[in-house]
Amino acid sequence: MAIGSGLLRSGVQLGVDVGRVALRPAAGAVDLGRRAGARVTLDALDAVLASALAEAAADRVLASPWTERTMTRALTGPLVDAAAREVARGAVIEPMLHEVLAAEVLEQVARNPEVERMVASLFESHLLDEVVARLLQSDELWRVVDEIARSPAVTDAITQQSFSFADQVAGEVRDRSRNADALVERTTRRLLRRRPPTGAV
Amino acid sequence: MNDYAGLVTRAIAFAIDAAIINLAAAVVAVIVGLGVSVLNVPDAVVTVAVAAGGVAYVVWTVGYFTTFWSTTGQTPGSRVMGIRVVCTQGDDAISLRRALTRVAGMVLAAIPFFAGFLVIAVDDRRRGLQDHLARTLVLYVPAAK
């Protein structure tokens, strides 16, 4: 019975191994195709971003009333507060950075001069001012600032800095006063025509 | 340069100590004065209180110097300026008796237009009148690294 069971198990394992070996070329081909597809997509994206059409399209999108309406609606809605809350919890930035930084697409897009121009025009537009203004009005942001300011690491650093500064000032005063000691002594002795003290330099 | 503290350093240390003493005394005087001002106290009591305040000031000043000199050898002002009062025989802090003698010596040194302090500038071991009377030295303390 046991011998039969063992033979059966060996037979099944052998079948699985044979299947894997047989499918290996197919899996390699699929992987190669996926990589080639990604490369072609990135090249196509580069070509589109470098074209004059992309510049004109970006200008039209940024200048359109639809963009302004949409951004204004988004900024005046609950989205900013919700985003600030998520940032305060650290739930957004970290996973987003992990995902985005890992992507090769971001690197290529960031290197593109057209993207730089679009970002520059975004910074020059009044939308950024509105975003900053909304962020500054957000209670969540100031709660985060308060928590950071009250954190032991920050208060310890400030205290340490204060002590270091006080020590530095006291040390400087000491050095100068010692020089003044020597000067006063030399002057007095010269006036009184006395010899310098034994051991003095 | 020798290790004996000079006139300028000691004068600055003394000025810091004087500021601490007078600030504390002023705070106490203001608190007591405000308290007395809201109470209907006879003039005789006020006169006695002022006299007692004067005595307390002297005791506070003498106690300040003697306590610090006889324990650590450094008043707060001396600590800031990096100097220390020691016996002439060694590096130990001075006794309470010598500390009291030194305070009296400082008063005597100030009487002849501070001439007792000016001796520091010409003495080989930079000793003032109070140091000669109490047999003490004032040394620079090496800076902590």
Cβ-based burial of B135 (10 A; exposed 0-12, middle 13-18, buried ≥19): middle
DSSP string, chain A: -HHHHHHHHHHHHHHHHHHHHHHHHHHHHHHHHHHHHHHHHHHHHHHHHHSHHHHHHHHHHHHSHHHHHHHHHHHHSTHHHHHHHHHHHTSSHHHHHHHHHH-HHHHHHHT-HHHHHHHHHHHHSHHHHHHHHHHHH-HHHHHHHHHHHHSHHHHHHHHHHHHHHHHHHHHHHHHHHHHHHHHHHHHHHHHHT-PPPTT--
Check whether A199 has a pLDDT greater than 60: no
Mean pLDDT of A145-157: 87
The C-alpha R_g of chain A, in whole angstroms, comes to 36
A189/B6 CB distance under 8 A: no
Q: Nearest Cα to A68, choosing from A126, A136, A124, A115? A: A126
Structural tokens at position A170: 């006291």
- Å from B13 to nearest chain A CA? 10
B9/A181 CB distance under 8 A: yes
Mean pLDDT of A124-132: 79
Structural tokens at position A61: 């999108």
Check whether B128 has a pLDDT greater than 80: yes
Which B positions 45-84 lie with beta carbon below 8 A of chain A?
A: 80-82
Residue B6: pLDDT band (50, 70, 90) is: very high
Are B73 and B93 in contact by the 8 Å Cβ rule? The answer is: yes
Contacts A197 to B, Cβ<8 Å: 2, 123-126
Contacts B139 to A, Cβ<8 Å: none
Q: Is B5 on the interface with A (CB under 8 A)?
A: yes
Are A107 and A48 in contact by the 8 Å Cβ rule? The answer is: no
The DSSP output letter for B86 is E
pLDDT, tens digit, 9 for 90 and up, residues B69-122: 999 999 999 999 999 999 998 778 899 999 999 999 999 999 999 999 999 999
Question: What ipTM was predicted for this assembly?
Answer: 0.84
Mean pLDDT of A2-21: 62
Contacts A201 to B, Cβ<8 Å: 1
- Å from A164 to nearest chain B CA? 13
Q: Nearest Cα to B102, choosing from B90, B115, B117, B89? A: B117
pTM of the model: 0.57
